[in-house]
């Protein structure tokens, strides 16, 4: 691990995260770079513990300011501050690379705001598009889709625009003519970085949509004809659009690069390319390169063809993907509604989803750590005179449940059935001394903070299950260990017939009975006993499933409060 003194002092100080230097809420810096001492130097560095994580405390000269840095911050994972708008972080593709599997999902699942939404927004970031299915076929619905991840960008075409293909067209744009791959609104600056197209009607007998990955095409051009790439990425081109109320113009290269020379933005639209005025020889070179790129973009292997049906909504990166419409027969008609939006909002929503997911994983880890600590701590104590420890007993119960093919929730219940002994103020020893600690109830109640009834109910009922079995199964009591026989009396003895009937009617009564039999068996000092870690993935899965079922409805909305 690197030490603070290995870094540039001013950079380190500029990143001080103390409450004096950064607003603890927004993480915004509270000082100017010009506020820092010009003679800034690290006066000491001392290893420190930062809430359980290793790190360093630095004292600065000349001002004596103290900063703390975690080791994980000094040496973060490789993509900590990765730029996410250039070719570098994208998955460039040709049609065949997608193997016919579109990045798609249903609107209903997407609206839950969880994994499906995160996956589809990831697809827009990585592949440049996603396809939402079963979006309600409703006027203006495309705006609701845009608002689900960001903000609509209004343009001269309105907040929403209509694309109609008519049987008797009155305008070329509404015919079945082929429209070659292009990006939209290149004459806008800033260009709308996202486009949405929502299909309301498609009764035409043909009329497929096409998408071309412009980043992949530009990368191909760079490979095949580096000088053409150089010309197109270094020549600002005028794009223009005019009508009665509009006179838009933008000057941008067809292939936009970032300062490091990485592909960052494609603009390609022959219809609105204005008049380029360059010295003669540069004009010829530009046109040769332009034609080469245009021909490359028309290669069939680059173009992903698919068909939008009613309810489909395509969301795509207008700085990267070119969209096209293949020619189709003139029978039937089609109606799409479209709108523009911006990538920054979409990427923010994706990052919030990911952060929430990470926060939850973090919480889950903390829960599992807590449970594990019970097994390691008090759990290591002897188990009411049995030949196994409390922890061994519970781990064996879990293993027996798993070996019996029990569902994960019941495995967890078996594993955790005696946590009430470990958590309660009235201990197992008090129980042995004649005071019922109701450990099944206190354990179930405590576990209910994180686990569903499928886990907690068998736990709650596992003592009653012993009283039930002793009532309904002649000889069951003989299977009990001496300690268990002893506690049976404190716990109320075998059930009366009425109690047994009530127990049998409990939704989780049968599960509790299964658990109980493993409970009796899990006291064998020579049986294989897995470590707690063996059960962590199973428990983590239950925590995630609980969260999903407990939080239905739309996911987090980007709010508009400053």
Residue 501 binding a copy of itself, by CB under 8 A: no
Minimum CB–partner distance for residue 193 and a copy of itself (Å): 6
| Alpha-carbon span 231 to 225, nearest angstrom | 10
With binding defined as CB under 8 A, does residue 155 bind a copy of itself?
Answer: yes
Binding status of residue 33 toward a copy of itself by CB under 8 A: yes
Q: Choose the stretch contacting a copy of itself; rule: CB under 8 A; options: 232-240, 328-336, 454-462, 482-490.
A: 232-240
Is 541 a residue that touches a copy of itself (CB under 8 A)? no
The residue (of 157 and 476) whose beta carbon lies closer to a copy of itself is 157
Of 172 and 505, which CB lies nearer to a copy of itself in the complex structure?
Answer: 172
Site for a copy of itself in 402-441 (CB under 8 A): none
Q: How many residues bind a copy of itself (CB under 8 A)?
A: 98
* Phi (first) and psi of residue 435, to 5 degrees: -110, 115
Q: Which is nearer to a copy of itself, 33 or 498 (CB)?
A: 33
Positions 48 through 67 that interact with a copy of itself (CB under 8 A):
none
Number of other CB atoms surrounding residue 256 within 10 Å: 19
Please list every residue from 267 through 286 that binds a copy of itself, using CB under 8 A.
270-277, 280, 283-284
Indicate the pairing of strand 313-317 with strand 194-202: antiparallel
Under DSSP, the state recorded for 287 is H
With beta carbons less than 8 A apart as the criterion, state whether 334 and 165 touch. yes
Of 99 and 559, CB closest to a copy of itself = 559
Which residues in 55-86 are b (16+ Cβ under 10 Å) and which e?
bbebebeeeebebbbbbeebeeeeeeeeeebb
Rounded distance between C-alpha atoms, residue 487 and residue 290, angstroms:
87
Residue range at the interface with a copy of itself (CB under 8 A); choices 3-11, 49-57, 205-213, 462-470: 3-11
Q: Minimum distance from CB of 98 to a copy of itself (Å)?
A: 25
Could you tell me the smallest distance in angstroms from the CB atom of residue 210 to a copy of itself? 14
The nearer residue to a copy of itself, 25 or 553, going by C-beta atoms, is 25
Which of 116, 118, 145, 152 is in the footprint of a copy of itself by CB under 8 A?
152
Binding residue (CB under 8 A) for a copy of itself from 65, 111, 117, 188: 188
Q: Which of 53, 96, 242, 366 binds a copy of itself (CB under 8 A)?
A: 242
Instruction: Please list every residue from 304 through 363 that binds a copy of itself, using CB under 8 A.
Output: 342-345, 347-348, 351-352, 355
Q: Which helix (H) or strand (E) holds 234?
A: helix 226-234
> Could you say which residues in the range 168-187 bind a copy of itself, by CB under 8 A?
172, 180, 187
Pseudo-torsion of CA 436, 438, 443, 444, nearest 10°? 160
Query: Cα–Cα distances in Å, from 13 out to 21, 34, 37?
Result: 9, 12, 10
Between residue 504 and residue 523, which ones bind a copy of itself under the rule CB under 8 A? Answer: none
Of 91, 98, 219, 240, the one binding a copy of itself (CB under 8 A) is 240
Give strand pairing partners of 321. 213
Nearer to a copy of itself among residue 234 and residue 331 (C-beta): 234
Q: Which of 39, 51, 46 is nearest to 13 (CA)?
A: 39
What's the first-to-final CA gap in the chain, in angstroms? 39
- Output the smallest distance, CB 143 to a copy of itself, in A: 12
224 binds a copy of itself (CB under 8 A): no
Q: Which of 119, 159, 423, 546 binds a copy of itself (CB under 8 A)?
A: 159
Out of 54, 62, 140, 158, the residue judged to bind a copy of itself by CB under 8 A:
158
Nearer to a copy of itself, 253 or 310 (CB): 253
Is 21 an interacting residue with respect to a copy of itself (CB under 8 A)?
no
Pick between residue 253 and residue 453 the one whose CB is nearest to a copy of itself. 253
Min. distance of Cβ 3 from a copy of itself in angstroms? Answer: 13
- With beta carbons less than 8 A apart as the criterion, state whether 90 and 316 touch: no
DSSP string for 24-86: TTT--B-S-GGGS-TT-EEEEEEEEEETTEEEEEEEEETT--EEEEEHHHHS--TTTT---SS
- Per-residue tokens: 440: 């099944």
Q: Identify the DSSP state of 90.
A: S
Does 43 interact with a copy of itself (rule: CB under 8 A)? no
Would you call the peptide bond into 62 cis, given omega within 30 degrees of 0 as the criterion?
yes
CA atoms within 13 A on the CB side of 548: 13
Facing residues of 111 across strands?
none
DSSP letters along 290-320, please?
HHHHHHHHT-GGGEEEE---TT-EEEEETTT
Q: Dump strand ranges (E) for 72-178.
A: 104-106, 129-133, 152-153, 161-165
Q: Does 34 bind a copy of itself (CB under 8 A)?
A: yes
What residues are paired with 317 via a beta bridge? 194
Enumerate residues 6+ apart whose C-beta is below 8 A from 158. none
The residue behind tokens 């049995």 is 386
The Cα 83–Cα 79 span in angstroms is 8
Q: Is 39 in the site for a copy of itself (CB under 8 A)?
A: no
DSSP β-ladder status, 104-106 and 129-133? parallel
Q: Is 19 in the site for a copy of itself (CB under 8 A)?
A: no
154 lies in the binding site for a copy of itself (CB under 8 A): yes
18 binds a copy of itself (CB under 8 A): no
Contacting a copy of itself (CB under 8 A), which of 84, 225, 357, 436? 84
Strand partners, 165: 334
Contact status: 558 vs a copy of itself (CB under 8 A):
yes
Q: Could you say which of 10, 490, 527, 538 contacts a copy of itself (CB under 8 A)?
A: 10
Residue 346 CB, nearest approach to a copy of itself (Å): 11
The residue among 88 and 430 lying less far from a copy of itself, judged by its C-beta, is 88
CB-based contacts of 179, cutoff 8 Å, min separation 6: 324, 325
Per CB under 8 A, does 560 bind a copy of itself? yes
Shortest reach from residue 554's CB to a copy of itself, in Å: 13
């Amino acid at each position: 691990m690197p030490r603070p003194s290995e870094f540039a002092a001013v950079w380190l100080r500029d990143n001080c995260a103390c409450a004096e230097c950064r607003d603890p809420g927004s993480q915004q810096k509270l000082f100017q770079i010009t506020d820092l001492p010009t003679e800034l130097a690290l006066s000491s560095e001392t290893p420190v513990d930062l809430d359980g994580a290793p790190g360093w405390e630095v004292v600065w000269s000349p001002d004596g300011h103290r900063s703390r840095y975690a080791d994980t911050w000094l040496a973060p994972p490789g993509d900590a501050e990765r730029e996410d708008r250039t070719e570098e972080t994208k998955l460039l593709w040709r049609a065949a690379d997608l193997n016919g599997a579109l990045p798609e999902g249903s609107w209903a699942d997407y609206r839950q705001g969880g994994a499906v939404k995160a996956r589809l927004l990831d697809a827009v970031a990585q592949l440049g598009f996603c396809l939402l299915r079963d979006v309600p076929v409703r006027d203006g619905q495309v705006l609701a889709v845009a608002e689900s991840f960001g903000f609509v960008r209004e343009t001269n075409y309105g907040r929403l625009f209509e694309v109609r293909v008519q049987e008797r067209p009155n305008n070329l744009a509404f015919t079945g003519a082929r429209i070659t791959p292009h990006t939209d609104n290149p004459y806008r600056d800033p260009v709308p970085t996202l486009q949405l197209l929502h299909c309301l009607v498609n009764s035409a007998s043909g009329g497929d949509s096409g998408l071309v990955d412009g980043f992949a095409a530009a990368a191909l051009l760079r490979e095949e004809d580096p000088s053409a790439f150089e010309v197109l990425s270094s020549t600002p081109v005028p794009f223009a659009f005019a009508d009665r109320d509009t006179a838009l113009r933008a000057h941008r290269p067809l292939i936009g690069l970032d300062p490091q020379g990485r592909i960052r933005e494609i603009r390609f639209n022959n219809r609105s390319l204005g008049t380029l005025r360059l010295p003669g020889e540069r004009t010829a070179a530009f046109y040769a390169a332009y034609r080469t790129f245009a021909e490359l973009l028309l290669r069939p292997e680059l173009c992903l063809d698919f068909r939008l049906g009613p309810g489909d909504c395509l969301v795509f990166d207008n700085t990267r993907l070119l969209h096209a419409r293949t020619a189709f027969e003139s029978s039937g008609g089609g109606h799409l509604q479209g709108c523009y939006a911006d990538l920054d909002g979409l990427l923010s929503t994706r990052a919030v989803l990911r952060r929430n997911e990470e926060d939850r994983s973090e919480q889950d880890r903390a829960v599992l750590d807590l449970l594990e600590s019970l097994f390691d701590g008090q759990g290591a104590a002897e188990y009411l005179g049995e030949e196994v420890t409390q922890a061994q007993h519970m781990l064996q119960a879990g293993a027996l449940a798993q070996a019996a093919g029990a569902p994960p929730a019941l495995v967890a219940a078996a594993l955790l059935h005696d946590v009430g002994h470990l958590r309660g103020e009235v201990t197992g020893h008090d129980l042995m001394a004649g005071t019922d600690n109701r450990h099944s109830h206190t354990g179930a109640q405590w576990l209910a903070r994180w686990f569903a009834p499928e886990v907690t109910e068998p736990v709650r009922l596992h003592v009653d299950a012993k009283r039930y079995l002793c009532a309904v199964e002649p000889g069951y009591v003989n299977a009990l260990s001496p300690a268990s026989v002893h506690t049976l009396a404190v716990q109320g003895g075998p059930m009366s017939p009425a109690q047994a009937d009530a127990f049998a009617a409990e939704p989780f009564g049968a599960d509790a009975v299964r658990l109980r039999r493993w409970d009796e068996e899990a006291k064998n000092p020579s049986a294989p006993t897995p470590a707690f870690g063996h059960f962590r993935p199973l428990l983590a899965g239950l925590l995630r499933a609980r969260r999903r079922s407990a939080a239905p409805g739309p996911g987090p909305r980007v709010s508009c409060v400053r």
